[in-house]
Amino acid sequence: MASGLKWKARYSVLSVLFLSFFVCYLDRMVISTSIPFIAKDLNLSKIQMGAVMSAFFISYALMQFPAGLLADKFGPRTTMLIGIVWWTLFTVLTGTASSFLVLIVIRVVFGLGEGLFPTASSKTLTIWFPSRERGVANSIMITSNLLAPAIAPLFVVAMLDWWNWRMVYYSLIIPGCVILPLIWLFVKNSPAKSRRVKKEELDEILEKDAVLTGAEEKHLNILEILKNPMVWKCFIIILFSNMTTWGLMSWLPTYLLDVKGFSTAKMGIATAIPFVAAIFGTFTGGLLSDKLFSKKRKWIVMTGYVTGAVILFLTLRISSDNLYIFVVTVAFFAVSMATSAFWTIPLTQLKSSVIGSSMGIINSGAQLAGFIAPLLIGYLVTISGGSYNSTFITLAIALLAAALAASTIRERSFAPEKRKQSVTVTGE
């Protein structure tokens, strides 16, 4: 086998990150499909349903920056292990909820634990992959974010056929117990600390576009990160784009049941289809950003978001169920392609020594959108007497705002040089 085709240690790390992110998103996304049944059991209103789906994200968003600091200081491995134990426990506890208030409290604490994972995983990817491979590697990792929402409706529907909504959450202790030892065995805080990494691969990994010397690292502080315009531009872009993403993820199952009159089984399939397309969109965005748009990724971002906005406006004129699912599927493909390219920008433009803290800030914008969107949609649907028209208009405008913010990005090129091993974080 040619040397370029050999399985490398970093591919195993990426595989574990993919599986872990899949479980992370599966645990959080089952709420979108199960919420109509939870609402019936606990007598929840539309606004209360939105509040339940939003509650997770307020604590999840607030945890992003502290999680980034923890990943930078103690290493991503420890941070991820704590997060997995935490969120698995509260996934199971979700199934015990007996009232609206109890469910809200569980979801808020759940969000704190899961909030430890994303920035630590981004830190891991930055440490383990040279910059020329990060677009594809990142797109592979985040396709799990879309595979989980595609599987979640089918999983929930199957569980509801056999048991009830509570068993959905009880059963999710199993995947949590599977990924915990995988992180422990395969993911180290530095490739130099892994016995699976050969010298040839280590030399490949340590090549990086822009690095800090040990002296420069000492002068880094939180204030410098907070003053970085790239960090805040990325924060704004993902805040607006994720308003649309989380709005659709959270409310599409309920919309298909209440407005389109789909059966539970048909809803599960129809909800899964757009996310399957989004998987391909995500990989396409990562591939294009590495191969054709490595110095102008923002054009993929802008094109995808504008396309998604136009399609959402068109949904207001569509009455056919099949055509509706088709155009929403195209919108998911376009938005996911743009978002995949977007996430590669900070991974290639920011210093690896502060990527955890910086991504914590950026991802807090992504998760703040997850808090705002479900609650806002619940409110809009309530005041409009059950109509979702104002919802689709709002989500389309949010995508246009994200595209406008992306147009202000100025991507820089760096002269290649070797990454110093002093960049690695402490801990094992």
Looking at residue 176, which CATH number applies to its domain?
1.20.1250.20
**For residue 257, what pLDDT band results from cuts at 50, 70 and 90?**
confident
Domain membership of residue 208 (yes or no) is: yes
Report pLDDT for 351: 67
Q: How far is CA 28 from the centre of its chain?
A: 11
Report pLDDT for 71: 83
More confident call, 255 vs 170: 170
**Closest Cα to residue 140, out of 313, 315, 347?**
347
3-state helix, strand, coil in the chain (%, to 5): 80, 0, 20
Report pLDDT for 413: 52
Count of structural domains, the chain: 1
Calculated CA dihedral for residues 220, 221, 222, 227, nearest 10 degrees:
-60
Report pLDDT for 352: 62
By the 8 A CB rule, do 194 and 183 touch?
no
Kindly report the CA angle at 189 between 183 and 193, in degrees rounded to 5?
105
The most confident of the ranges 162-166, 225-229, 332-336, 383-387 is: 332-336
In the chain, how long is the greatest CA-to-CA distance? 64
Rounded CA separation 279/334 (Å): 11
Rounded CA separation 335/142 (Å): 13
Domain membership of residue 236 (yes or no) is: yes
Domain membership of residue 50 (yes or no) is: yes
Q: Is the pLDDT of residue 218 over 70?
A: no
DSSP alpha helices (H): ranges in 172-316?
A: 173-186, 199-205, 214-218, 222-226, 229-258, 264-291, 298-314
Report pLDDT for 178: 93
Q: Is the pLDDT of residue 415 over 60?
A: no
By the 8 A CB rule, do 53 and 374 touch?
yes
Domain membership of residue 1 (yes or no) is: no
Residue 45 structural domain: 10-423
**For residue 356, what pLDDT band results from cuts at 50, 70 and 90?**
low
Domain membership of residue 357 (yes or no) is: yes
Report pLDDT for 107: 92
Specify the pTM. 0.67
Report pLDDT for 210: 38
Domain membership of residue 311 (yes or no) is: yes
Rounded CA separation 293/133 (Å): 13
Kindly report the CA angle at 367 between 401 and 245, in degrees rounded to 5?
55
Question: Percent of the chain having pLDDT more than 90?
Answer: 21
Domain membership of residue 150 (yes or no) is: yes
Residue with tokens 């959270």: 250
**For residue 219, what pLDDT band results from cuts at 50, 70 and 90?**
very low
Query: What's the pLDDT tens digit per position in 269-303?
Result: 888 888 888 888 888 887 777 666 666 778 889 89
Report pLDDT for 307: 94
Report pLDDT for 2: 40
**Out of 102-111, 208-217, 276-285, which region has the weakest mean confidence (pLDDT)?**
208-217
Query: What's the pLDDT tens digit per position in 119-161?
Result: 888 888 888 888 777 777 877 887 787 788 778 878 888 888 7
pLDDT (average), residues 351-373: 77
Rounded CA separation 195/222 (Å): 33
Domain membership of residue 428 (yes or no) is: no
